[in-house]
Amino acid sequence: MSTDPPSALASLEHTLPRASYLDAAAFQREYAAIFASSWVCVGRSDTLTESGDYLAIRLQEQSLLVIKSNDGDLGAFYNVCRHRGTELVPLKDPGPISGQFSRSIVCPYHAWSYHLDGRLRGTPHLAIETDGVSLHSIPLAEWGGFIFICLAPNHDEPLAETLGGGTGRLQRYPLADLSVGHTITYDVKANWKVIAENYNECYHCGPVHPELCQIVPAFKQGGGTGLDWDDGVPHRDGANTFTASGTTKRAPFPGLSDTEKTHHKGELFYPNLMLSLSMDHVAAFYLWPQSAGHTRIQCDFLFHPDELSKPDFDGSDAIEFWDVVNQQDWDICESVQRGMQNKVFAHGYYAPMEDYSLDIRRYVREKLDKAGRECS
CATH of the domain at 117: 2.102.10.10
Residue 202 φ/ψ, nearest 5 degrees: -120, 20
* Domain co-membership, 209 together with 314: yes
* 219 domain residue, yes or no: yes
Q: Of the candidates 134, 156, 178, which is a domain's last residue?
A: 156
* Domain co-membership, 105 together with 181: no
* 374 domain residue, yes or no: no
- Give the sign of the dihedral formed by CA 352, CA 357, CA 361, CA 363: positive
* 32 domain residue, yes or no: no
* Domain co-membership, 223 together with 331: yes
Condensed to tens digits (0 to 9), the pLDDT of residues 318-345 reads: 999 999 999 999 999 999 999 999 999 9
* Domain co-membership, 143 together with 207: no
Condensed to tens digits (0 to 9), the pLDDT of residues 81-129 reads: 999 999 999 999 999 999 999 999 999 999 999 999 999 999 999 999 8
Alpha-carbon dihedral angle through residues 321, 322, 324, 329, given to the nearest 10 degrees:
150
Q: Is the pLDDT of residue 215 over 90?
A: yes
**Average pLDDT of the residues of the chain:** 94
Q: Of the candidates 95, 125, 156, which is a domain's last residue?
A: 156
Strand partners, 105: 114
* 23 domain residue, yes or no: no
Question: Structural domain of residue 90, as residue ranges?
Answer: 40-156
* 314 domain residue, yes or no: yes
* 61 domain residue, yes or no: yes
Say if residues 195 and 270 touch (Cβ distance below 8 Å). no
- Give the sign of the dihedral formed by CA 243, CA 247, CA 253, CA 256: positive
* 321 domain residue, yes or no: yes
Query: What CATH number should be reported for the domain holding residue 224?
Result: 3.90.380.10
Cα distance between residue 43 and residue 182, in whole Å = 13
Q: Is the pLDDT of residue 357 over 80?
A: no
* Domain co-membership, 249 together with 199: yes
Query: Which residue, 264, 286, 278, is CA-closest to 307?
Result: 278
**pTM of the prediction?**
0.95
Rounded to 5°, angle at Cα 250 from 326 and 169: 65
In the chain, how many domains are there? 2
* Domain co-membership, 334 together with 212: yes
* 305 domain residue, yes or no: yes
* Domain co-membership, 134 together with 200: no
State percent of the chain over pLDDT 70.
98
Cα distance between residue 103 and residue 116, in whole Å = 7
* Domain co-membership, 137 together with 173: no
* Domain co-membership, 310 together with 225: yes
Q: Is the pLDDT of residue 3 over 60?
A: no
Q: Of the candidates 130, 156, 182, which is a domain's last residue?
A: 156
* Domain co-membership, 272 together with 327: yes
Average pLDDT estimate for 147-156: 92
* Domain co-membership, 131 together with 234: no
* Domain co-membership, 122 together with 198: no
